[in-house]
């Protein structure tokens, strides 16, 4: 991995966090950056999912008061 690859991944990770905080879709940025630097798509997808997991958990906890009334519908998903 070159220095420019590391900078690209850092910037993609930062932008991904910002995008997820506002509207979601940050995985699109990290997945694209990881495949661009040469990671296989399956590895990039798994890595991107793992790195986004803390955001998913904190979003669920933050919206828990709103979604607790609709938990039966959420189980169907």
Q: What interhelical angle do 41-62 and 26-36 show, nearest 10? A: 160
Domain count, the chain: 1
Distance CA 59, CA 74 (A): 15
Q: Give residue 18's domain range.
A: 3-76
pLDDT given at position 66:
76
Q: What is the 3-state secondary structure (H, E, C) of 23-54?
A: CCCHHHHHHHHHHHCCCCHHHHHHHHHHHHHH
pLDDT given at position 76:
76
Distance CA 41, CA 47 (A): 10
pLDDT given at position 43:
95
Classify residue 24 by its DSSP letter: S
Specify the DSSP element, H or E, that contains 23: none
> What does each of the 77 residues of the chain score in pLDDT, given as a tens digit?
899 999 999 999 999 888 887 887 888 899 999 999 999 999 999 998 888 888 888 888 888 877 777 777 777 77
């Amino acid at each position: 991995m070159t220095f420019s690859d590391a900078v690209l991944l850092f910037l993609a990770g930062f932008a991904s966090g910002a995008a997820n905080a506002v509207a979601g879709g940050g995985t699109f940025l990290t997945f694209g950056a990881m495949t661009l630097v040469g990671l296989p798509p399956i590895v990039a997808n798994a890595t991107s999912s793992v790195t986004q997991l803390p955001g998913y958990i904190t979003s669920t906890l933050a919206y828990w008061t709103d979604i607790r009334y609709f938990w039966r519908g959420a189980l169907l998903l």
